[in-house]
Amino acid sequence: MPENWSEHVAKTEQLDRIDPWVWRVAIVVVLGSLMSILDTTIVNVALQTLHTELHSPLADIQWVITGYLLALAVVIPISGWASRRFGAKNIYLMSIVLFTAGSALCGLATSADALIIFRVLQGVGGGMIMPVGQMILADAAGPKRMGRVLAVTGVPTLLGPILGPTIGGLLIDSASWRWIFYVNVPIGIVATVLAVRMLPAPNRDANVPRLDVSGLLMLAVGLPALTYGLAEVGATGGFSSAKVIVSILLGVVLIATFIWHALRVPAPLLDLSLFRRSTYASAAGAMFFLGAALFGVMILLPLYFQNVRGESVLDTGLLLAPQGIGMAIVMPIVGRMADRMGGGPLTIFGVIVASLAGIPFGLIGAHTSLVALGFEQAIRGVGIGFAFMPAFIAAFAALERHELPDAAPQLTVLMRVGGSIGTAVLAVVLQRTLASAHHPLTLAAAAGAYGTAFWWGVAIIVAAIVPCIILLRAESKARGVARARADADRDAGSGPAALAEVAA
């Protein structure tokens, strides 16, 4: 028995060894992912500059971010189908080319409308870079090595909130806002060349069902319509405007129709039957609110630092770094903790910490200590780090292996949609509060307006506590069922529990 076990361990270690070519694939995937994620955060520090130089109100300029996030949300669901149908390598290359071309066009834009349109094109490419890259990397790594190799793709997620605003500020201060987009062009060219040379040949599946075009059209129109309607509520002063009513009704009807459609067709764009499981559904709900709070607040802080505190764009980028640092500190450990404790307890802990850390921002003043704001950002980053990853882990733990390709894009879509809605709502709240303040506007009044918008951000993240409680209860129930089955298997002297004890 010991000899056989030694041979088994030796074979397992040999199988677990990661070949150099797998790491080369990982480098290509990380490069593309970093380019996409940096561009999600790098624009945040440029909103005030774009508002001034393109002579466009903040409610319109925020669509530079919202349009990009919505484009990501629309194309992510088709990434799995497209990869199987046309080959993952081909789709990855197309995504990088689209993203790079969109970046170049954004840099050439001469109006806010043109910039928003080009940002949508950029988002169409950027939305597929990460999920398709992860599919390629997972296939190259194999199931036994997937966790270690896929952990590498988490690096861009950690670096994005830290490097994005800083790089954006440096480029705007030393060159112009156009270079926050031009910088992607040489990186995109390098990523394309490396992808052509290093990624494995594409595998196509001729038996892939036809794309759910009807579902795609419903989402592609419904999500932007709903988000636009919510944004216009603040811009027009309420729900009385015809374009607000029509947009919101159109969005709600199309999204509801998509849900009805997806639950009845054999090969829907998104497998919504997964939401019948309380663990997955509650984790997804938490992701939605976390995305709304994270991306929404990320547009408020840069504007506060520049408009109220008079900081340069570069200094603003540096002042935003603590939140990313807080996330980076805890992200490496929360995965292991979630394996032991489950995702529910960590997620609700993270949401509570992030909510409490948001309260000082609601009380922000014109002369609040920058050191204190940095510390509070770091604590908020710790809370977000504890909330995001365990929510993902909890959602995946509730599923079968064959369901993961459908589950991962859905969680990402919900987070991006939440982010786009949160960005639109908080930008409009800020603009309306500033407009209603006494003029000439004092620094104290301006800071108060930002404080009001930050309170809305706190309310959004507090709303995540409800799905977190449901998640906690669902996981507890699932563990009870698993223990009962393990006890039954142990009493029978066989089954998975007994085999697990032997293996241990």
Task: Please indicate, yes or no, whether residues 164 and 121 belong to a single structural domain of this protein.
Answer: yes
User: 341 CB contacts (<8 Å, ≥6 apart)?
Assistant: none
User: 296 CB contacts (<8 Å, ≥6 apart)?
Assistant: 419, 422, 423, 425, 426, 456, 457, 460
What's the confidence (pLDDT) of residue 159?
A: 63
- Tell me what percent of the residues of the chain surpass a pLDDT of 70: 81
User: 204 CB contacts (<8 Å, ≥6 apart)?
Assistant: 84, 85, 86, 87
Structure tokens at 459: 């309310």
Task: Please indicate, yes or no, whether residues 465 and 342 belong to a single structural domain of this protein.
Answer: yes
Q: What is the pLDDT along the chain (504 residues), one digit of tens a residue?
A: 444 434 433 444 444 566 677 778 878 887 887 787 777 778 877 888 888 888 888 777 878 887 887 787 778 778 778 887 888 888 899 999 999 999 999 999 999 899 999 999 998 888 888 778 877 776 776 555 554 555 555 556 656 666 777 788 888 888 889 998 998 899 899 999 998 888 887 777 667 778 888 988 898 888 888 877 776 665 555 666 777 788 889 989 998 999 999 888 888 887 888 888 888 888 888 888 888 888 788 888 888 998 899 888 888 888 888 888 888 788 777 767 876 777 788 889 999 999 999 999 999 999 999 999 999 999 998 998 888 878 877 776 666 766 766 676 777 778 877 887 888 788 888 888 888 877 778 888 899 999 999 999 999 989 989 888 888 888 777 777 667 776 676 666 555 444 344 333
For residue 412, being part of any structural domain is answered with yes
Diameter of the chain measured on Cα atoms: 84
Task: Please indicate, yes or no, whether residues 446 and 408 belong to a single structural domain of this protein.
Answer: yes
Give the 3-state secondary structure of residue 447: helix
Domain total for the chain? 3
For residue 178, being part of any structural domain is answered with yes
What's the confidence (pLDDT) of residue 357?
A: 93
Structure tokens at 155: 């690096």
Task: Please indicate, yes or no, whether residues 350 and 258 belong to a single structural domain of this protein.
Answer: no
For residue 3, being part of any structural domain is answered with no
Task: Please indicate, yes or no, whether residues 332 and 237 belong to a single structural domain of this protein.
Answer: no
Task: Please indicate, yes or no, whether residues 192 and 239 belong to a single structural domain of this protein.
Answer: no
Task: Please indicate, yes or no, whether residues 84 and 166 belong to a single structural domain of this protein.
Answer: yes
For residue 7, being part of any structural domain is answered with no
For residue 44, being part of any structural domain is answered with yes
Supply the Cα-derived Rg of the chain in whole angstroms: 23
Say how far apart CA 187 and CA 43 lie, in whole Å. Answer: 17
For residue 372, being part of any structural domain is answered with yes
Task: Please indicate, yes or no, whether residues 296 and 428 belong to a single structural domain of this protein.
Answer: yes
Task: Please indicate, yes or no, whether residues 442 and 326 belong to a single structural domain of this protein.
Answer: yes
Task: Please indicate, yes or no, whether residues 44 and 178 belong to a single structural domain of this protein.
Answer: yes
Domain range for 313 is 276-504
Task: Please indicate, yes or no, whether residues 300 and 168 belong to a single structural domain of this protein.
Answer: no
Where a domain ends, among 186, 203, 220?
203
For residue 5, being part of any structural domain is answered with no
**pLDDT tens digit sequence for 319-372:** 888 888 888 788 777 767 876 777 788 889 999 999 999 999 999 999 999 999
User: Which DSSP letter does residue 111 get?
Assistant: S
Task: Please indicate, yes or no, whether residues 249 and 301 belong to a single structural domain of this protein.
Answer: no
Where a domain ends, among 249, 268, 287?
268
Spatial CA neighbour of 296 closest among 134, 135, 457: 457
In which residue are the tokens 């060159």 written?
175
CATH number (domain holding residue 313): 1.20.1250.20
**pLDDT tens digit sequence for 141-189:** 655 555 455 555 555 665 666 677 778 888 888 888 999 899 889 989 9
